[in-house]
Structure 1
Amino acid sequence: MENWGPVFVSVLLFVILTPGLLFQVPGKQKCVEFGNFHTSGASIIVHSLLYFSLVCVFLLAIKVHLYLGAKEMADWGPVVIAVVLFVLLSPGLLFQLPGRNRVVEFGNMQTSGLSILVHTVIFFGLITIFLIAIGVHIYTG
């Protein structure tokens, strides 16, 4: 039986920490702005660092996932895959699907509820492929 803990933690944090949905740090006008559906390179960096920190806490410190070996080892695979996908799929950084004026817009630093939903579905699909179907693991210690 596969471990779905890292997938669900990663997807939930993707939604919560997508810049512009609940909050954006730094905002365009203030240090923190709430629900403005905007993003920027700086806010994606800050949100990615928050995402990395929280994924490490949940997957490595709290150990939301199970270890099936005789020796308990830290598995960095889910952390690395989740953080890379978070950055690449942050709506508005590389692309926004759907865009405001076209089906796909590139580098517009904008987002919307619908594009966050679409990007979340893509994120869920890709992280499931990498962690469950392929089983990417990076063990340390």
Structure 2
Amino acid sequence: MSDWGPVFVAVVLFVLLTPGLLIQVPGRSRFVEFGNFQTSGVSILVHAIIYFVLICILLLAIGVHIKKGLMADWGPVLIGVVLFILLQPGLLFQIPGKNRHVEFGTMKTNGKAIAVHTLIFFAFYAVLTFAVHVHIYTG
């Protein structure tokens, strides 16, 4: 039986912590901005650190799992953090872009791009966790 708990946690955190959707720290003109659909390298780094802390707490400390009897597995944490950074709309690419189907390095986003990137995040996360079986067990 597959453990969908880490997948659920990772995808929800991806959406909630996407810079510019709900919040952006730091913002363009203020320290905190809300719903501006903008991003920057610094805000992606700050949000990735917050993502890392929250996913560690939820998966390793609290142990959010849908399947019982698992050891501490750093694989889902590391996969989530790397994908969180690489798939931020506007950092490397954005699908759909504002003026084209795919735009590169715009540091802007929109609701459709967040939805598409969330689906891409879910697909890669699920494949790496369940099909490729990337696991890093500790202690």
Category of TM-score, reference length = shorter chain: over 0.9
Alignment of 1:94-105 (within 5 A): 94-105=92-103
CA deviations on 1:11-43 (whole Å, 9 max, x unpaired) are 000000000000000000100000000000000
Alignment of 1:123 with 2:105, yes or no, is no
Q: In 2, distance between residues paired with 1:132 and 1:6?
A: 11
Judge conservation of contact 1:4–1:132 (CA < 8 Å) in 2: no
Equivalence for 2:5: 5
Equivalence for 2:33: 33
Q: 3-state SS of the aligned residue for 1:122?
A: helix
What letter is aligned with 2:63? K
What letter is aligned with 1:15? V
Q: In 2, distance between residues paired with 1:67 and 1:84?
A: 26
What letter is aligned with 2:135? H
Alignment of 1:56 with 2:56, yes or no, is yes
Judge conservation of contact 1:60–1:75 (CA < 8 Å) in 2: yes
Q: In structure 2, list runs of 5 or more residues that go unmatched.
A: none
Q: In 2, distance between residues paired with 1:67 and 1:41?
A: 38
Judge conservation of contact 1:23–1:34 (CA < 8 Å) in 2: yes
Q: In 2, distance between residues paired with 1:67 and 1:137?
A: 16
Q: In 1, distance between residues paired with 2:124 and 2:49?
A: 21
Equivalence for 1:24: 24
CA deviations on 1:59-96 (whole Å, 9 max, x unpaired) are 0000012454xxx6311000000000000000000001
Q: In 1, distance between residues paired with 2:72 and 2:126?
A: 19
- TM-score scaled by length of structure 2: 0.96
Equivalence for 1:79: 77
Q: CA deviation at 1:136?
A: 1.1
- TM-score scaled by length of structure 1: 0.95
Q: Which runs of 4+ in 1 moved over 6 A?
A: none
Alignment of 1:42 with 2:8, yes or no, is no
What letter is aligned with 1:116? I
Aligned partner (choices 106, 109, 119) of residue 108 of structure 1: 106
Q: 3-state SS of the aligned residue for 2:20?
A: coil
Q: Percent identity?
A: 64
How many residues are paired up?
138
Q: In structure 1, list runs of 5 or more residues that go unmatched.
A: none
User: C-alpha root-mean-square deviation of aligned residues, in Å?
Assistant: 1.0
